[in-house]
Amino acid sequence: MTMAPERVLGVAASGPGDARGHRSDRRSAGRRAGRRRAAAAGLVFLLPALVIFGYFAWWPIAQSVVLSFQQTNLVSAPHWVGLRNFAQLFADPLLATAALNTLWFTGLSLLVGLPVPLVCAVLVSELRRGGALARTLAYLPVVIPPVVAVLLWKAFYAPGESGVINSLLGLFALGPYPWLQSPVLAMPSLVVVATWSGAGTAVLIYLAALAGVSRELYEAAELDGASVRRRVWHVTLPQMRGVILILLLLQIIGALQVFTEPYVMTDGGPANATVTVLLMIYRYAFLFGNYGVATALSVLLALVLVVVSAVYLRLTRSWSTS
């Protein structure tokens, strides 16, 4: 940031050099000089982005591929190990557990996180009063920092009869349930938290999309005698298909990278029931100092994400054209 003045000086310095060019055709020369000046100025204005992206986006992306074939522990110099990082990864029985857990988390969060915001949005959009209040309430959890949300819900999930959720269920003579203390319930409990902090955004996006659905289509459907339910099914949902599909993809990609909830709430427990791929990457790198294997797993995750996106886009394209 503080380098801006030098950059401005840099423009000035390149000025005279440009002026030196002579051509018989003055207009063409002028245009070329203009192009060159634009290139110089463009470069100057792009410099912050080039430096920042160069260091913190392009270089790490390239490095990831390199690192996954190296042994790096920050103590001895990195050296090439071929596919050994990947071999070590596949020999780790935790990899299968983590992959399955991550898929389970993703599946569950779609099961809850797809229909709930959609239904909410449809209901809110039909409100004749209190729409702003409803939107605000729906969005409030999103405003809370994720770590706060996670720690708050950890308190809600306290086991035994004095836990908040358990005493709530106790009013209906249910429970107490062990929630985070149970290998079976732990993952669904995390999904609830993740959905709680994410659903508000989806509601607002769906609402924006709902507002864009043409009124005439509803009018026409109504004139054809379509019931409300049929209007939702045959007009609203098809019109929203694009938004729904994009959010679905984003949700899948986000869920495959889940970290904060299992890291803070369960640390992967109990009995590895909530170890996710990203948690495993974190442990390999920052607990065991094995950056090569950690990066190898990152590369695998990246491949999965790319394949998911590609397959998804392919499928949705064929649906929308058929």
Partner 1 sequence: MTSGPAPVRGILSSADWRHSATRRTWRLLHAVLFAGLVAFGALPLVWMWRASISSTADLVQRPLALWPDPARWSNLYDAWSLLGIDRYLQNTVVLVAGSWLVQLIVATTAGFALAVIRPWFGRFVYGALLATLFVPGTVTLIALYLTVLDLPGLGISIADTPWAIWLPAGAHAFNVLLAKQFFDAIPRELFEAAQVDGAGWLVVFRRLVLPMSRPILAVISLLAIMTAWKDFLWPLVVLSDPAQQPLAVALPRLAQNTDPAYLVAGLVIASVPPLVIFLIFQRQIVSGVGWSGLKG
Partner 2 sequence: MKARARRVLGAAAAMALMSGAAACGTSPGADPDTVVITVMGMPAATNTAALELFQAQVAEFEELNPGIRVVGSDVPWDAKTFAARLAGGSAPTLLRVPLTEPPSLIERGQVADIAAEVAELDSFEELNPRVMQFLTDDDAVYGVPEKSYAFGLVYNRSIFTQAGLDPDVPPTTWEEVRAYAAQITERTGRVGFGEITTNNSGGWHLTGYTYTHGGAMIEQAGDGHWVAAFNDRPALDVLKWWQQLRWEDDSMGDNVLGKQEDMLAEFVAGNVGMWVSAPPDLYPNYVAAGGDPADYGAGPMPQAGADATLAGATVLMVNANASAAERDAAVRWIDFRALRPNFDPEIAEETAAAAAADGLPVGVPVLPIYSQEKYEEIQAAIADHVNVPVENFAPYVASLETFEYVPEPVVASQEIYAALDPLVQAVLTDPAADPAELLAEAEGRVNTILEQNQS
CB of 274: closest distance to partner 2 in angstroms? 10
124 binds partner 1 (CB under 8 A): yes
- Rounded Cα distance between 293 and 72, Å, is 9
Residue choice 80, 90, 288, 319 for contact with partner 2 (CB under 8 A): 288
CA–centroid distance for 252 within its chain: 8
Closest CA to 84 of 280, 279, 295: 295
> What does the alpha-carbon distance between residue 241 and residue 235 come to, in Å, rounded to a whole number?
10
Among 71, 89, 99, 141, binds partner 1 (CB under 8 A): 141
77 Cβ contact partners less than 8 Å away, ≥ 6 residues apart: none
| Contacting range for partner 2; rule: CB under 8 A; set: 34-42, 153-161, 215-223, 302-310 | 153-161
Structural contact between residues 169 and 177, judged by C-beta atoms closer than 8 angstroms = yes
In the numeric block, the tokens 């409030």 are attached to 140
Q: Which residues within the stretch 280-319 sit at the binding site for partner 1 (CB under 8 A)?
A: 281-282, 285-286, 291, 294-295, 298-299, 301-302, 305-306, 309
Residue 98, CA atoms < 13 Å, CB-side half-sphere: 26
Contact by Cβ (8 Å): 276, 209: no
Q: Out of partner 2, partner 1, none, which partner does residue 267 contact, by CB within 5 to 8 A per kind?
A: partner 2
3-state class (DSSP) for residue 4: helix
Instruction: Please report, for residues 66, 79, 203, the alpha-carbon distance to residue 76 in angstroms, rounded to integers and kept in the order given.
Output: 17, 9, 50
User: Which span sits near partner 2 by CB under 8 A: 17-25, 140-148, 281-289, 303-311?
Assistant: 281-289
Residue with smaller CB distance to partner 1, 21 or 184: 21
The secondary structure of residue 72, as a DSSP letter, is -
DSSP class per residue in 119-131: HHHHHHHT-SS-H
CA–CA–CA angle 62, 68, 73 (5° rounding): 110
Interface with partner 1, residue 137, by CB under 8 A: yes
Write out the binding residues for partner 1, residues 12-71 only, by CB under 8 A: 35, 38-39, 41-50, 52-53, 55-61, 63-64, 67
**What is the closest distance, in whole angstroms, from the C-beta atom of residue 193 to partner 1 in the complex?**
10
- Whose Cβ is closer to partner 2: residue 30's or residue 289's? 289
Q: Which parts of 199-258 interact with partner 1 (CB under 8 A)? A: 200-201, 204-205, 207-211, 215, 218-219, 222, 228, 231-232, 235-236, 243, 246-247, 250, 253, 257
Please say which residue, 142 or 184, places its beta carbon nearer to partner 1.
142
Nearest-angstrom CA–CA distance, 75 and 82: 20
Closer Cβ to partner 2, 180 or 256, answer by number: 180
Q: Which of 107, 183, 212, 238 binds partner 2 (CB under 8 A)?
A: 183
| Cα–Cα distance for residue pair 184/273, rounded to 1 Å | 8
Between 225 and 322, name the residue whose CB sits nearer to partner 1.
Answer: 225
As measured in angstroms, the least distance from the Cβ of 3 to partner 1 is: 11
Out of 19, 91, 211, 223, point to the residue binding partner 2 (CB under 8 A).
91
Burial group, residue 207, by CB count within 10 angstroms (0-12, 13-18, 19+): buried
What residues between 87 and 116 interact with partner 1 by CB under 8 A?
none
Which stretches of the chain bind partner 2, using CB under 8 A? 1, 73-75, 88, 91-94, 158-160, 176, 178, 180-184, 266-272, 283, 286-289
